[in-house]
Amino acid sequence: MLRNLIRLHSRTCYAVLERWPGVCQGGQARLPTLLENAKAYSTATSERKKFYQDVSISQGEDGMFEINLDRRKLKTPGGKIFTVPNEALAIAVATEWDSQKDTLKFYTMHLTTLCNTALDNPTHRDKDQMITAALKYLETDTICYRVEEPPGLVELQKNEWDPVLHWIEKRYNVVIGSSDSIMGPQIPEETKDTFRQHLGSYNFWALTGLEYVINQLKSVVLSFGLIDRHLTVEQAVLLSRLEEEYQIQRWGNVEWAHDYDMYELRARTAAGTLFVHLSSESSTVKRKLLQD
């Protein structure tokens, strides 16, 4: 995946950005009001006519990479210059903008949204607060809550979820367990401490992506399995929707609606996973890939 993104850069020299009203502006940027900033982060389903022809990336004096639309620097909803920490991530974001057709569909640009979140930090949280928020999902983790009936679903959950639980317990030397009680399993403090220490090894950008993945799957266990490459995106999404898939197999589904929801969840989960890995890439790895 990363090699393909790098090749995109050598295949085309994209050219630079045009104006995005309120976000991409020439000259001095106007600071948005609180209401404008809130509205900017609440337009995930908005569309607008494409206003640029060429997309390019450039490296600033601080070593950060910028996205340009027809010679205009892209800016975040909060008015900051849109910068990312490495070239691979810049290429991935530029590809999102370059792949837009006549209409910009911002709700499909998940990497751009994640970068905006990391740059503007609209909730004003630090790493410790992000880690605490992520670990709260462990207490209500999707695959830790089991049903008592019907027998078919009980068996399906055991067969599909138990192997992932056993993997993560062995991988991180922790105890998690599962329960069919409405209270869920009691997660030992030692387990939380282990995961807190592990999450602390990620930088702020990678944590932004990881929390996004956890929120999509409603599962710390599945998210770790995905980030650690134990699970594919398709597997993680399917496991997160196991009960729903069981009911669909039993009772049928609304044609097209199920597939749409599935593909949307896959797209968001894949983007978040890619964001974590690209945000964690070192410049040494990046240069080696460019030389290959």
Q: Residue 86 is part of a domain; what is its CATH number? A: 3.30.2180.10
Looking at the fold, whether 8 and 116 belong to one and the same domain comes out as yes
Q: Is the pLDDT of residue 27 over 80?
A: no
pLDDT for 256 equals 63
Global pTM? Answer: 0.81
Out of 102, 120, 138, a domain closes at 120
**94-112 pLDDT tens trace:** 999 999 999 999 999 999 9
112 lies in the same domain as 16: yes
**Overall domain count for the chain:** 2
Residue 282 pLDDT level (bands cut at 50, 70, 90): low
Residue where a domain terminates, one of 120, 141, 169: 120
Tell whether 170 and 280 lie within a shared domain.
Answer: yes
Residue 2: pLDDT above 90? no
What phi-psi label fits residue 81: left (phi over 0), alpha (psi between -120 and 50 degrees) or beta? Answer: beta
Checking if the pLDDT of 126 tops 80, the result is yes
Q: What is the mean pLDDT of the chain?
A: 83
Do both 186 and 268 map to the same domain? yes
Whether 275 and 162 map to the same domain: the answer is: yes
173/228 same-domain check: yes
Q: What is the 3-state secondary structure (H, E, C) of the chain?
A: CHHHHHHHHHHCCCCCECCECCCECCCCCCCCCHHHHHHHCCCCCCEEECCCCCEEEEECCCCCEEEEECEEECECCCCCECEECCHHHHHHHHHHHHCCCCEEEHHHCHHHHHHHHHHHCCCCCCHHHHHHHHHHHHHCCHHHECCCCCHHHHHHHHHHHHHHHHHHHHHHCCCCCCECCCCCCCCCHHHHHHHHHHHCCCCHHHHHHHHHHHHHHCCHHHHHHHHCCCCCHHHHHHHHCHHHHHHHHHHCCCCCHHHHHHHHHHHHHHHHHHHHHHHCCCHHHHHHHHHC
Q: Are residues 56 and 163 in the same domain?
A: no
Domain encompassing residue 83: 2-120
Instruction: Tell me, yes or no, whether 146 and 286 share the same domain.
Output: yes
